[in-house]
Amino acid sequence: MSIGKFAQCSGLTPSALRFYQDAGLIRPAVVDDASGYRYYAAGQLAQGIAIRQLRDMAMPLGAIPQVLDDDAAEAGRLIDEHVARLGDQLRQARRTAAAFQERPGEGSGLPVASVKGPVLAAAAEQILTAAAPGPGSPVLGGLRVEAASGALTLTATDGYRLATRTLVPDQAPGTTWAATLNGDDLREILPRIRHRALVHVEASRPGVRLRTDCGHTEYCRTVAGQYPDYRLLLSALPPAATRLTVARDALLRALDRHAGNLIRLHVTRGGLTLGPAPEVAAPRSLRARSAGPPAAAWFHLTTFYPAVSAAIGPDLMLDLRGPGQPATIRSADTGDLTTLAMPARPGVSLAPAGSGTGSLP
């Protein structure tokens, strides 16, 4: 196989292959003495592709022979460590970027509200469980923050679930203000916020600044783009057909023990039955109060569990509205956290966010 052919098959370039030969990384199987032509064996392709992949993840040439020579377990270890180092560098860069943004220019931002650090951290963490993780829609990956009439409202949704909560700040917002905070930035900041007594939230042109009394400042980017009108969505919901009140930690414990991702909730007059499907043996029963006709709904545990786990009060209120309609999960006594969850259809796996099927209207 000539150098051009080998390059094409492995995704490398001829000049890179020549360089790798000089570096002793991969040598042609045969070199023609007279012409100097390099010939590679088909069996070297795997190695060529491996080198390209390692270089694609910015691994230094010097580290590559180790990875190629070691057994799979050891090689996996080296790669994992390398990727973790890249993550460190990114985190460091994010911190530096945050520090850069708070240079003495433009003065300090517009004060929005002041909240206790542990309270803000707990609430943001709670709500962020309903945000869309990873790359995808930047708006749905973020936390919506709205300051109005003396209160701070935090909201997140990924199209399948929606969580919203209202906080009463220590220093109430004087202005009306709203923004969508970058979820990744915020999650990284939260551990440092949690141990600050009081955090001042300030709007600073492109992002949000979280300032503490001791002069420490964190910067969080905002996400551009219109946030879904969840208030309209909430107010347009039809009334609950069936309402269930159940002890939160009993339900949580039953969910812990449930096998499989699909779960069926069956609400009867006397209680709640959890099971994989009606015909499968050993469904689990919980005592609960219910109003309205008996009803059943399927959920994906990955959608339903975070909603239950994030709730606060001792009792949970579950409103079912029938097939295709979102269910509401709420603390029974104090309604400052509301979660919506789309039911799943059995046999239908959770579609990726934004693909349209089964998402919130």
243 binds a second copy, rule: CB under 8 A: no
Contact map string, positions 207 to 226, toward a second copy, x by CB under 8 A: x-x---------x-x-----
Contact map string, positions 22 to 51, toward a second copy, x by CB under 8 A: ------------------------x---x-
Which residue number, 79 or 241, has a Cβ lying nearer to a second copy?
Answer: 79
Contact map string, positions 269 to 308, toward a second copy, x by CB under 8 A: -------------------------------xxx--xx--
38 binds DNA, rule: CB under 7 A: yes
Q: If binding means CB under 7 A, how many residues of this protein chain bind DNA?
A: 22
Phi, psi of 169 (to 5 degrees): -70, 160
Question: Minimum distance from CB of 35 to a second copy (Å)?
Answer: 34
331 binds a second copy, rule: CB under 8 A: yes
Contact map string, positions 116 to 155, toward a second copy, x by CB under 8 A: xxxx-xx--x--xx-x-xxx--------------------
82 binds DNA, rule: CB under 7 A: no
* Residues contributing to the site for DNA (CB under 7 A): 2-5, 13-16, 18-20, 23, 32, 34-38, 55, 60-62
